[in-house]
Copies of this chain bind each other. A is one copy, B any other.
Amino acid sequence: MNKSIHDIIFTDKPASVLEEKLLGLQPSRVAVLVDENTKKHCLPFIEKALPHDHVLIEIESGERHKNLNTCIEIWKALTNQAFDRKGVMVNLGGGVIGDMGGFCAATYKRGIRFINMPTTLLAQVDASIGGKLGIDFDGFKNHIGMFREPDSVIISTIFMDTLIDREIRSGFAEVVKHALISDSMHFEDISRNLWHKQNWHEVVPHSVTIKENVVIQDPQEQGLRKTLNFGHTIGHAIETHYLNHADNPLLHGEAIAMGMIAETLLSSKKCGLSQDESQSAISYLMDNFPLERIPEKFFDAIINLTIQDKKNRNGKVLSTLLQKIGQCAFDIELSKEELYWAINEYNRKISAK
């Protein structure tokens, strides 16, 4: 078993674990970052572990607040309290809180320590693992950021009860992705049930372990870590486009599920994924996720967005595709024509449902 690159704890007693971790870190002061939802629903679970003079920073929930303006609010809140470099920040929330709170902590006075307490399934199995921090910028997702590990990640399924179904299902997309790229047995296991019947006490740690094993081998995304990008070349572009242009933005996992279907179709075309396995992956995704038809007028914009993907090089769109379920290849170049074909074919598939 590989050594953890950071300290990930699964617990039913998040307050006790937080208390113990803070005792170890000996902070001069503690700040807690929440949004209106986690303040109401999650903070009560951990409040007793916080020193009485902690600084509570509340931001508005939602991806559209994951930007520099909110960072400025957070940095100012710390500054106004003369928060020093020995302080510790606790990020209590989903991916937005973890990514942005981590970024603010890692850049405040050139970096203070932070603990992530992911409260959504998506953040638990994905965002909080692997040290990717950042914010959206100029219409691009996670465009400004850095790599840095939290001092601890405290994961508790207690917080799952605070989530609406749509959030849980969105997070489940990353669970499916982890299985598809590297663990066919796990795909078999989870695909016996739909998302709402999963045993999260088993599924969450298993999914975290898959991601952790990849990240340990390639923390800076030079190679292997790119496999985690499956579904994201197209999915990320769809998510970004809807964020900027649609009235009702998609959740991350919803967009990634759409991207995974398009990229599974490309996997058969370009990487030898068998028709049987392709069908099995696509069916399971179609059974679990609400899949929007993508209007043709969005095609060009979405394809242009794939070009801005951080994993690209020399202006070429590079993707991760499945060779079989549980095995994939990365840095597969996609032409504009192939991207167009994949999105069109995705539409055809989901219409035939």
Contacts and interface: CB of A to CB of B under 8 A. Distances in A.
Interface residues of A, number: 36
Contact of A86 (B82, B145, B314): B314
A84 B28 contact: no
Interface in A61-117: 68, 72, 75-76, 79, 82, 84-86, 106-111
Q: This chain: how many copies in the complex?
A: 2
A285 B106 CA distance: 37
Nearest to A135: B107
A147 interface: yes
B140 A79 contact: yes
A265 to B, nearest CB: 26
Contacts of A75: 137-138, 143-144
B107 A310 contact: no
Contacts of A108: 143-144
Interface in A139-198: 140, 142-147
A201 interface: no
Contacts of A310: 84-85, 109-110
A132 interface: yes
A102 to B, nearest CB: 12
Contact of A146 (B106, B140, B307): B106
Given A137-B75, A138-B76, A110 B68 contact: no
A109 to B, nearest CB: 5
Contacts of A84: 310, 312-315
A134 B111 CA distance: 11
A274 interface: no
Contacts of A76: 138
Interface of A: 28, 68, 72, 75-76, 79, 82, 84-86, 106-111, 132-134, 137-138, 140, 142-147, 307-308, 310-315
Given A107-B145, A108-B143, A110-B310, 6 more contacts: A75-B137, A75-B143, A79-B137, A109-B143, A110-B145, A110-B147
